[in-house]
Structure 1
Amino acid sequence: MTLRLTVSGMLDVTHTLAVLRLHSLPGQEEIDEAAAQVHRILRFDDHLVEVHVALNPDAVIVQHDAPAKLLPKLRSTIDHWFGLTQDTSSAYASLQTLPSFARLAQESDHLRLISYPTIFEALATTVIGQQVSLAAARTLAGRYVENLGELHQSGLRAFPTAQATASLEPAQIQSIIRCPLARATTLHTVAHWYQDFGQHLIHDHEQFLTQLLALRGVGPWTRDYMALRGLRAPEIFLDTDLVVRRALNNLGVSENELKDLPSQAGYLATLLLWHHDSRQHD
């Protein structure tokens, strides 16, 4: 079956593929850059859905095998993942008063935040990626998916559930991911919390993030990164991120300019700095 989801404004397909490629996990998804297509398995409760997502500037075309009753969930999942209905025009317009960001916005005028299909995937990968390089985080998360992700007949695996993660002891998670015990303990703690409380607070961002930060092993960067890429909070400017700080220094952005950053454009400012840094290191 085919589902067509229109984009509010325009989708920068090249940027979207670049973000997906940076975070792609082996065995979980296949990215065909020539066809601008992503092949993944999505979980809806106990149902696995195979999707082929074709990216176009004005629409996303989804080939899927979801039953009719799951179509609303499939629509909202794809929309959340790619931010298709998010109107970026006001954030772009608000950055025009800040010289450094105005230049970046003019150079890359159709960026949008690429998230994750599910909140728990965003949460687990954020915890796994704490204080390690992106390459190391992908390696650790790849082991996590390979060992705990349910295998689909396509050969791909669905992202592990909070329940599957919480059912293990931290030492078992450590053995699977081959990470420090403290990191495995944090993942175990977060999975338990999400299963018992977090999943019921998704629409109450303040409570979700307050409780998350209170968990042992979770710091401000994890909270803010989760708010940005997991919950899609537009006000988050991730100035604690090393790549963001490097881009700010490279561009010579003043503290006064940062003080004037519009509150609802924090996400876009972060994206523009990430994108600028990636182009400097291509």
Structure 2
Amino acid sequence: MDATQQDPGPSMGVTAHGRLDPDLCLATLAAHAIPGVDERVGAEHRRPVRLHGRVVPLGLRFTPGQVLVRCLDAPLPVADEPALAALVRRWFGLDEDLEPVNAHLARDPLLAPLVARRPALRRIGYPDPFEAAATTVLGQQVSVAAMRTFAGRLVAGWGGDAGPGLRTFPPADVVARIPEDELQAAVGLTRARTRTVLAVARAFVEAGPAADGALPLTRGQLLALPGIGPWSADYLDVRARLDPDAFAAGDLVLRRALGRISAREAEARAEAWRPYRAQALFHLWSQEAYAA
């Protein structure tokens, strides 16, 4: 049966600590959706995740207080529910208490109207740390749309079947074995970017998986890889490591939101937002992307 024709199965509700912004969750997922991996069907976002070493295709719906999760191909075993709930809680920042964060950021005249407009904004990460790192490299110095195109080509070439109309993002051990020339030609990358993707994949394989789906490489290990600079490390601190005070001062969208200032000026401007600079960054990103 085609994924768009499936009857909704039973959902598991994963409750947020406080409010959740359903529209913003869907918009953020859509903005970074990878062709073949992510699919929007009505109010449901669909994509596979890896759970206990196997691929599970999920349907995600959002309410003002919960993420509703269902498996698309078969009922989820009860024993797997805690692991899936933990993955979803981390992915969508559901454990964070937004009240002190909002109160602190609302003292800033620039952020106050953004916090008032989106008081339930949460920092959204990734379901898989290697996907986060690989797509960050693919997105260096190009638009989000270009990153999605590159990632879609990578998935088309080396992703696996994930059930109803979906494919997996290829894991690090698969990417690490791709011949350099073949990867460059298939994805359309520069030689230097191709080598960075392969270096990241090999570093992930060497490091092995981290506990609780965390990023297995330290900031220093990332910066030691060819082609990984401060912006990539900062972005991964924000989106994959989920450090609440991480900040990507060199990010072009951020600097545009702050009036096209320099990275040094952005770093200084953000001092007032500590220890919640990552939340401030998400507010500014969201304002630039979803200003309507």
TM-score (norm 1): 0.90
Shift of 1:237: 2.1
2:242 to 232, 239, 249: 232
After superposition, the Cα gap between the structure-2 partners of 1:255 and 1:63, relative to the gap in structure 1 and judged at 3 Å, is closer
Would the aligned equivalents of 2:122 and 2:279 in 1 still touch at CA under 8 Å? Answer: yes
After superposition, the Cα gap between the structure-2 partners of 1:142 and 1:228, relative to the gap in structure 1 and judged at 3 Å, is same
1:44 to 51, 56, 63: 51
Structure 1's unaligned 5+ residue stretches are none
Q: Which residue in the other structure is 1:15 paired with?
A: 24
Q: 1:180-199, aligned counterparts within 5 Å?
A: 180-197=190-207, 199=209
Q: Which residue in the other structure is 1:267 paired with?
A: 278
Shift of 1:66: 3.1
Count residues in correspondence. 277
After superposition, the Cα gap between the structure-2 partners of 1:131 and 1:4, relative to the gap in structure 1 and judged at 3 Å, is same
Structure 2's unaligned 5+ residue stretches are 1-9
Q: Which residue in the other structure is 1:164 paired with?
A: 174
Would the aligned equivalents of 1:42 and 1:50 in 2 still touch at CA under 8 Å? Answer: yes
Q: Which residue in the other structure is 1:104 paired with?
A: 114
Shift of 1:187: 0.5
The letter of the residue matching 2:78 is A
After superposition, the Cα gap between the structure-2 partners of 1:206 and 1:96, relative to the gap in structure 1 and judged at 3 Å, is farther
2:222 to 212, 218, 223: 212
1:140 to 145, 150, 160: 150
SS at match of 1:31: strand
Alpha-carbon separation, structure 1, partners of 2:99 and 2:36? 36
The letter of the residue matching 1:181 is R
Would the aligned equivalents of 1:98 and 1:257 in 2 still touch at CA under 8 Å? Answer: no
Over aligned residues, Cα RMSD in angstroms?
Answer: 2.3
Shift of 1:167: 1.1
The letter of the residue matching 1:96 is A
Alpha-carbon separation, structure 1, partners of 2:37 and 2:22? 21
Alpha-carbon separation, structure 2, partners of 1:208 and 1:228? 13
2:37 to 17, 28, 32: 28
Shift of 1:98: 1.5
Alpha-carbon separation, structure 2, partners of 1:110 and 1:3? 21
After superposition, the Cα gap between the structure-2 partners of 1:153 and 1:107, relative to the gap in structure 1 and judged at 3 Å, is closer
SS at match of 1:99: coil
Would the aligned equivalents of 1:169 and 1:188 in 2 still touch at CA under 8 Å? Answer: no
Shift of 1:185: 0.7
The letter of the residue matching 1:145 is V
After superposition, the Cα gap between the structure-2 partners of 1:139 and 1:233, relative to the gap in structure 1 and judged at 3 Å, is same
After superposition, the Cα gap between the structure-2 partners of 1:205 and 1:261, relative to the gap in structure 1 and judged at 3 Å, is farther
Shift of 1:10: 1.0
Q: Is residue 2:188 matched to residue 1:178? A: yes
The letter of the residue matching 1:217 is G
Please state which structure has a larger fraction of its residues in helix: 1
Would the aligned equivalents of 2:204 and 2:217 in 1 still touch at CA under 8 Å? Answer: no
Shift of 1:68: 3.4
1:221-244 deviation digits (Å, cap 9, x = unpaired) = 000101111111111122210000
Alpha-carbon separation, structure 1, partners of 2:69 and 2:103? 31
Q: Which residue in the other structure is 2:4 paired with?
A: none
After superposition, the Cα gap between the structure-2 partners of 1:279 and 1:54, relative to the gap in structure 1 and judged at 3 Å, is closer
